[in-house]
Amino acid sequence: MKAGDIVLVALPQSDGKIKKRPALLIKQMPGFGDWLICGISSQLHQYIPGFDEKLDTTHPDYTNSKLLSPSIIRLGFLTVTPSAKIPGVLGNISQSTLKKMTGNLINHLKK
């Protein structure tokens, strides 16, 4: 597994329930090798321009993402997950898209 991979993991939802959903591996954390991940949603109305990344059929990474429908990578939906809880890789995004997204996150945190 590497940063930029899309995986299927159990993620906590806003209502407290746990649901398996696609997520983007952003960065492996120091110490125990856990991953900082970002949830992916098909709820396109949640898209935040200039922050999230919309993966629709016109996006160059859509095919390699292996997502079943147009989706958004939601930078506001972050969590840390142990590597052992990630069963495998579904797809991936390009390193340039990952770099753009991490830049969006860094810029937001600097504000």
Structural domains of the chain in order of their starting residue, each with its CATH number: 5-110 (2.30.30.110)
Q: Return the closest-CA partner of residue 20 out of 2, 37, 44, 3.
A: 37
pLDDT in tens, 7-29: 999 887 777 788 899 999 999 99
Q: How confident is the model at residue 40 (pLDDT cuts 50, 70, 90)?
A: very high
Paired tokens of 39:
């949830």
Does residue 96 carry a pLDDT above 90?
A: yes
Q: How far is CA 99 from CA 22, 67, 68, 102, 103, in A?
A: 19, 20, 23, 5, 6
* Tokens, residue 18: 């746990």
